[in-house]
Structure 1
Amino acid sequence: MPLRRPSAFPRQLRKSTCPGRPTGLSYLGYSGYQRSGLATAVPPVTQDATSSKGPTAMVFLNMGGPSVTDEVQDFLSRLFADGDLIPLGRLQTYLGPLIAKRRTPKIQKQYADIGGGSPIRKWSEYQCEEMCKVLDRISPETAPHKPYVAFRYAAPLTEEMYTKLLDDGFGNGKGGRAVAFTQYPQYSCSTTGSSLNELWKWRNRLEGKRANTDVDPSGTIQWSVIDRWPTHPGLVEAFARNIEVQLKTYPEEKRKGVVLLFSAHSLPMSVVNRGDPYPAEVAATVHASQVGPSAWLGAQTSDTVQEYVNRGQKDIVLVPIAFTSDHIETLYELDHEVIQDANSPGVKRAESLNGNPIFIDALADIAQDHLRKGEKCSLQMTLRCQGCRSERCLEQKKFFAGEEASSLVV
């Protein structure tokens, strides 16, 4: 995805030297390859099915990507129009379309190089469908679980998903439960926050501004949110297994010296300085997933890899730690640019989560726990960034927090 290249900064985040250029992070450390066993497995799930509370709509939220090259310009136009992701100030509506149009040919070529489009829709729909199958089995009291996908910048867009919900019998005076399940494991206002702002906007447009109370006589959809899950045991296990599989492709005597480079998308420093929790939550995932000594913030991914190769450290495993499936960052920026430019057979990438059954079970476990608790969102989500001045963010958080917890959002 343009403008969000996987990157990082030495030891600490630093201000960008180029106005408007987003900065980002990766995490670096030696593998050590000293794990005596596997990462902690997802604990077994139990349920006490006493009554039926279904059906339940499970809505995966993600950025999305163009499925074919003809969709690239529309995708970029929506992306550059989003001030939550790329703050361009008062000229956003003017500059966004211009930047999108100028960058379209270059980005179309990148998507052509990875097969003609992003696989993120295919994987998101597969992951959600498979998770719902597991949920039907382990959480019968909230079954049937119906899978939906809502992308921020590409089809199926949030408004398309919401219209389908209404067509399928949710809302329109009938009520019904829906869970917005972010597929960004680590929370950021520019990703999860932006997706929730969009969902809140279309909820108001299509169902009206009514309170999200437990009992709504007007019959609107009752929403709750799974807003972050950076250290869930199943997520950690899926990442750790993929790292181990790639480490085993190196000769045994070299494995302890392989460098693990955890790559995440970048953020504008204005978002980081506002108090966005993303860097800390990515660090938490890295700390839980690594198979060796502690990692630290590093420089831009491509620069880091090339510098280590130049120094003679040619065995490096790239780990996309903030993504739940393959997309343009993994398939083009890491595979085509970083790895090919390194020109070293020891520079490799750990497999993305995609259809990993451990990951699918983790998603189901997270969802079941959320449904069992009956919470609207995490307590953490009621906290706004200390520098946030957005009234839209304030009202969105109050809505999803529900009547009882909305007073915590200040």
Structure 2
Amino acid sequence: MSLLRTFRFQSRGLVTTTKKWTAPKGPTGIVMLNMGGPSSLSEVYDFLYRLFADEDLIPLGRYQKQLAKFIAWRRTPMITEHYDDIGGGSPIRKWSEYQATEMCKTLDKLSPESAPHMPYVAFRYAAPLTEDTLKQMQADGIKRAVAFTQYPQYSCSTTGSSLNEISKLSKKLDPNNEISWSVIDRWPVHAGLIKTFATLIRDKLEEYDDSVKNNVVLLFSAHSLPMSVVNRGDPYPAEVASTVSHVMAELGFSNPYRLVWQSQVGPSAWLGAQTADTVKSLVAKGETNVILIPIAFTSDHIETLHELDLEMIAEAGVPGIKRASSLNGHPMFIEALADIVKNHLQEKKTSSKQYEMTCPMCTKEVCINSRKFFLQ
């Protein structure tokens, strides 16, 4: 490929062609990526500051860091109360570490040629932070690693931000690229994921009388995105919709359903319809049998335990409004995680074909640079 053609590909957001991943022998680090959450009430401010300071997640303009400090200070008392309501902190670290550990145990049996597999968790906004995890991996002598996003559906605001962070930190902490990386950047329609969601929905449907079971409305709820992110071509809405469609196909399209969006922050336009507004509208129309399904989350955290369970379901006070259990430690889900990594390791690719392309309207140099890092 000529230098001119390479430049044209990069200017269009196409970095390179997916190539085979060659890595040294030895332990394989499996790094579970997520935004994380404060494990204690004292961590809430720092968590919120890091979250709002991340322009990949919530773009606030040229004064991002200053605004982040103000927003975090303003919201800390209320968010601290919310975490106090669900037990004094987020359970996402507990679940992430459990999922990573159990997955690696299964992986050692499924993929002995890449064993032993060592589990790591790298959070974007809470401990264990990505930087601390990378330092621990170096101390453990890891030479090959898989960055495994725990956002099944890709967004530059979530998975993209985590991969950008690994890329930037690796240049500082591992300038000689002693750790060889590959990326599992999305898995929205993996059979194990779909079957686990379908199983959890069926379990919840069993709580309804047979006379109404097939008319229960299934509301698939995913974290919303600012429309500024959607309009630059972020693939997240389409990939979430694909997950929903596959789950409904697994269920035989047995019930009416909709995809809705939660957790909007600030006055700017976000992807809708909003989950809270939809629940209120359904109740007002007499639809009192509804199951909320957190379709873009791999474990419980504040968006499920507080936003869905307390702010929507408890406040509605309607017995027929329920929530399907989160994936958490479900054995079928753990098997799915291991299968995803096993297949990735066997394919020996650095990433999916989709990761090579940035959002069509993206102009961020950091997105191009992170792809250069992972696809080198």
TM-score normalised by the shorter chain: which range applies?
Answer: 0.7 to 0.9
TM-score calculated relative to the size of structure 2: 0.88
1:81-105 CA distances to partner (integer Å, 9 max, x unpaired)?
A: 0000010010101111111011000
The answer to whether the aligner puts 1:200 opposite 2:167 as a matched pair is: yes
Query: Structure 2 vs 1, CA of residues 129 and 97 (structure 1 numbering), >3 Å: closer, same or farther?
Result: same
| C-alpha displacement of 1:343 | 1.3
| C-alpha displacement of 1:296 | 4.6
> CA-atom RMSD, angstroms?
1.2
Letter in 1 for 2:212: K
Q: Hey, what's the Cα distance between the residues in 1 that align with 2:258 and 2:278? A: 12
Letter in 2 for 1:335: D
Q: Hey, what's the Cα distance between the residues in 2 that align with 1:97 and 1:197? A: 22
The aligned residue for residue 251 of structure 1 is: 209
From 215, 227, 233, the counterpart of 1:275: 233
The aligned residue for residue 134 of structure 2 is: 162
The answer to whether the aligner puts 1:191 opposite 2:149 as a matched pair is: no
Q: Hey, what's the Cα distance between the residues in 2 that align with 1:158 and 1:238? A: 28
The answer to whether the aligner puts 1:101 opposite 2:68 as a matched pair is: no
1:40-73 CA distances to partner (integer Å, 9 max, x unpaired)?
A: xxxxxxxxxxxx9431000000000000010000
% identity of equivalent residues: 61
From 74, 92, 98, the counterpart of 1:120: 92
1:116-168 CA distances to partner (integer Å, 9 max, x unpaired)?
A: 00000000000000000000011000000000000000000000000000111
SS at match of 1:252: coil
SS at match of 1:103: helix
Letter in 1 for 2:133: M
Q: CA contact under 8 A between 1:287 and 1:294: conserved in structure 2?
A: no
The answer to whether the aligner puts 1:145 opposite 2:117 as a matched pair is: yes
From 23, 32, 37, the counterpart of 1:65: 37
Q: CA contact under 8 A between 2:215 and 2:256: conserved in structure 1?
A: no
Q: Hey, what's the Cα distance between the residues in 2 that align with 1:164 and 1:398? A: 24
Q: Hey, what's the Cα distance between the residues in 2 that align with 1:181 and 1:310? A: 42
The answer to whether the aligner puts 1:288 opposite 2:246 as a matched pair is: yes
Q: Hey, what's the Cα distance between the residues in 2 that align with 1:84 and 1:143? A: 34
SS at match of 1:264: strand
The aligned residue for residue 177 of structure 1 is: 144
Map residues 5-84 of structure 1 onto 2, 5 A cutoff.
53-84=25-56
| C-alpha displacement of 1:333 | 0.1
| C-alpha displacement of 1:305 | 0.8
Letter in 2 for 1:203: S
The aligned residue for residue 232 of structure 1 is: 190
Q: CA contact under 8 A between 2:28 and 2:144: conserved in structure 1?
A: yes
Q: Hey, what's the Cα distance between the residues in 2 that align with 1:288 and 1:316? A: 20
SS at match of 2:211: helix
| C-alpha displacement of 1:297 | 4.7
From 379, 386, 390, the counterpart of 2:364: 390
Letter in 1 for 2:194: V
From 320, 324, 340, the counterpart of 1:366: 340
SS at match of 1:242: helix
The answer to whether the aligner puts 1:316 opposite 2:274 as a matched pair is: no
SS at match of 2:106: helix
Q: CA contact under 8 A between 2:217 and 2:256: conserved in structure 1?
A: no
Q: Hey, what's the Cα distance between the residues in 2 that align with 1:396 and 1:319? A: 33
The aligned residue for residue 215 of structure 1 is: none
Q: CA contact under 8 A between 2:234 and 2:359: conserved in structure 1?
A: yes
Letter in 1 for 2:33: L
Q: Hey, what's the Cα distance between the residues in 1 that align with 2:240 and 2:195? A: 16
Query: Structure 2 vs 1, CA of residues 184 and 394 (structure 1 numbering), >3 Å: closer, same or farther?
Result: same
Q: Hey, what's the Cα distance between the residues in 2 that align with 1:149 and 1:206? A: 17
| C-alpha displacement of 1:294 | 7.3
Q: Hey, what's the Cα distance between the residues in 2 that align with 1:384 and 1:363? A: 25
Query: Structure 2 vs 1, CA of residues 305 and 294 (structure 1 numbering), >3 Å: closer, same or farther?
Result: closer
Q: CA contact under 8 A between 1:53 and 1:143: conserved in structure 2?
A: no
SS at match of 1:160: helix
The aligned residue for residue 10 of structure 1 is: none
For these two proteins, the number of residue pairs brought into alignment is 337
The aligned residue for residue 306 of structure 1 is: 280
Q: CA contact under 8 A between 1:286 and 1:295: conserved in structure 2?
A: no
Q: Hey, what's the Cα distance between the residues in 1 that align with 2:63 and 2:352? A: 34
Structure 1's consecutive aligned runs of 4 or more residues displaced over 3 angstroms after TM superposition are: 293-298
Gaps of 5+ in 1: 1-51, 171-175, 213-219, 403-410
